[in-house]
Structure 1
Amino acid sequence: MHHTIYPLFNGCFNIYFKSARSLENIHCFAFLVVDEAGEAVLVDTGFDPKGIPGANTSSTQTEEQKIKAAIKKLGFAPSQIKEVILTHIHWDHTAGMPDFPQARFYVQVNEFRGLFQLNPNEETYFSPSHWLPLLPNIELIQGNREIKPGLKVIQSGGHTSGHQLVEVQTKSGPVYLIGDSPFNYDLLWAKIPPERWRSFREGAGRKFYWEEGVWDTINAWLTERDCSGPVQGQAVPWAEIKKFGSRLLMAHDARLLKVDSID
């Protein structure tokens, strides 16, 4: 089964830091993957300008660039999207999840296990409000798995504990949607001194930290599915991912602005 890939531009954001390198003009993309029968699978769901976890942020996002609207422009109603693959659950990949309450969301189990092994303040990378009400819709995957003919997820880890790639078979050969595979922000966050984190948590950043009950809800959900416990397996090094070939599409590659579709 061959597929056509449509990059969906979701806008740009900036996060300005006083104590570390700022993240500026970050282009965001999700992807709609459509098979020969016209059935579509969405990969990632974009960001919300109101939910960027920083005290000094800005963004550009039109109504047309929201993932729900971008899908409609391609001729699909959001209700037609029955399957969504999340490369990982950072805030800039999950904001559109509530727009697809009928969908099944595919996420690596290590992604949720890893939430219990976060570095201090790392919880601000995630927005439980995007996915906590949708836990019954989430299908946990452990390792590599074929979602449908010609569409496969590959556990990679690295950027997050349960980061995964999406291998898409097109008429011109395989293409890999690699999410945020090349990026590791550990050094950036390590440069922010503890006192600044405390100030952020007690002030402008308070809303980006989780309420205590969230941890209990996630733990109970994992336990019910017999999936609780530590992260399992090793991350795939970026050097190994690059060996997949030259057709690697990252979620934040501005060059995708020039690409309408890939088939």
Structure 2
Amino acid sequence: MRIHHLNTGTMCPIGKRLVNGSGSIFQRARMVCHCLLVESNDGLVLVDTGIGLDDIADPPRLGRKWVRQTTPRLDPAETAVRQVQALGFSPSDVRHVLLTHLDRDHAGGVPDFPNAKVHVHRREYEMAVTRQVAPPAGRYISAQWQHGPDWAFYGEGGEDWFGFAGVRALGDREPDILMIPLPGHTLGHCGIAVRHNGGWLLHAGDAYFHHAQLDARPRMPLVLGMFQRRADMDRATRIQNQERLRQLKAAHGATVTIVNSHDPVDYETCRRGRHAAAAA
């Protein structure tokens, strides 16, 4: 399968050294919304959607505090739908949208693909959409799914994948795209694994925020670490899953490439490295 790596929303908070781990505290940092566009056997598959056109048209709906703190560029050309079109596809070619979770910078582009089936863990849906479990105040932006997407749910049954349990394939039909429960950041947070070039690419969403967190001696810039802790719904489980990802990288790094959503190093490494040929 061919994989395109997309940055669907650049965020530029102040304090580059404390966010990216290098540069000056007076410089603007760079964070990305790293999404995958996969040319699969069942049409185009989009892994996360980043910031959408409706968000850019009405930035306050993202939350004034969030916009002030993250300083997103809000460039329509960065949206997933515009990048899909730039690659020569139609938005209707996107048959499936797989969401790591429903935070505003991951689900904002969902309305831009109204014909796609939207795949999400049931616990995430029950908190963010139906609110059967009360979410933290202001966590989710319900306007991002007010159009009524065609939902598909995960969380029941599943198989084992490198020690991760409850793993299911896309619609139980596409064995090369897997949804992997990785709770902690949110209760229904998932990673998405795609088989590619004889190995796997695991998009771990917000299970970790900085590439050095998966090193043998993990490191984390101060402000980014504070943000990660504040965003945790279940910190203990998030830490446990980070350790499992660290072990996966140590044991199977030759065949499993792990990336997260917001680290520009992960994003640029994918574009220029092992998956660059597919993204070119």
With normalisation by structure 2, the TM-score equals 0.66
After the TM superposition, which of the residue ranges 77-86 and 48-57 deviates more from structure 2? 48-57
SS in 2 for 1:180: coil
Equivalent residue number for residue 156 of structure 1: 182
CA-CA distance at 1:131 after TM superposition: 1.3
Equivalent residue number for residue 46 of structure 2: 42
Question: Across the two proteins, how many residue pairs are aligned to each other?
Answer: 212
Inter-CA distance 118–38: structure 2 relative to 1 (3 Å threshold): closer
SS in 1 for 2:153: strand
Task: Work out which of the residue numbers 21, 33, 38 in structure 1 matches 2:38.
Answer: 33
Equivalent residue number for residue 200 of structure 2: 174
Equivalent residue number for residue 144 of structure 2: 130
Inter-CA distance 182–189: structure 2 relative to 1 (3 Å threshold): closer
Contact 1:9/1:257, CA 8 A, preserved across alignment: no
Equivalent residue number for residue 124 of structure 2: 111
Higher RCO, Cα 8 Å, sep 6+: 1
Contact 1:89/1:111, CA 8 A, preserved across alignment: yes
Equivalent residue number for residue 260 of structure 2: 250
CA RMSD of aligned residues (A): 3.0
SS in 2 for 1:93: helix
Moved over 3 A (4+): 21-25, 113-119, 183-190, 260-263
CA-CA distance at 1:106 after TM superposition: 0.4
CA-CA distance at 1:15 after TM superposition: 5.8
Task: Work out which of the residue numbers 138, 152, 165 in structure 1 matches 2:191.
Answer: 165
Equivalent residue number for residue 97 of structure 1: 110
CA-CA distance at 1:42 after TM superposition: 0.4
Find the aligned partners of 2:42 and 2:152 in 1 and give their Cα distance.
23
Structure 1 stretches lacking a partner, 5+ long: 191-230
CA-CA distance at 1:129 after TM superposition: 0.6
Equivalent residue number for residue 5 of structure 2: 7
Task: Work out which of the residue numbers 135, 144, 153 in structure 2 matches 1:140.
Answer: 153
SS in 1 for 2:186: coil
Contact 2:207/2:241, CA 8 A, preserved across alignment: no
Find the aligned partners of 1:11 and 1:93 in 2 and give their Cα distance.
9
Contact 2:42/2:95, CA 8 A, preserved across alignment: no
Task: Work out which of the residue numbers 70, 73, 84 in structure 2 matches 1:60.
Answer: 73
With normalisation by structure 1, the TM-score equals 0.70
Find the aligned partners of 2:268 and 2:74 in 1 and give their Cα distance.
14
CA-CA distance at 1:61 after TM superposition: 3.6
Contact 1:5/1:32, CA 8 A, preserved across alignment: yes
The percent of aligned pairs where both chains have the same amino acid is 23
Inter-CA distance 189–94: structure 2 relative to 1 (3 Å threshold): closer
Inter-CA distance 82–189: structure 2 relative to 1 (3 Å threshold): closer
CA-CA distance at 1:9 after TM superposition: 1.1
Contact 1:151/1:168, CA 8 A, preserved across alignment: yes
SS in 2 for 1:133: coil
CA-CA distance at 1:158 after TM superposition: 1.0
Find the aligned partners of 1:38 and 1:110 in 2 and give their Cα distance.
26
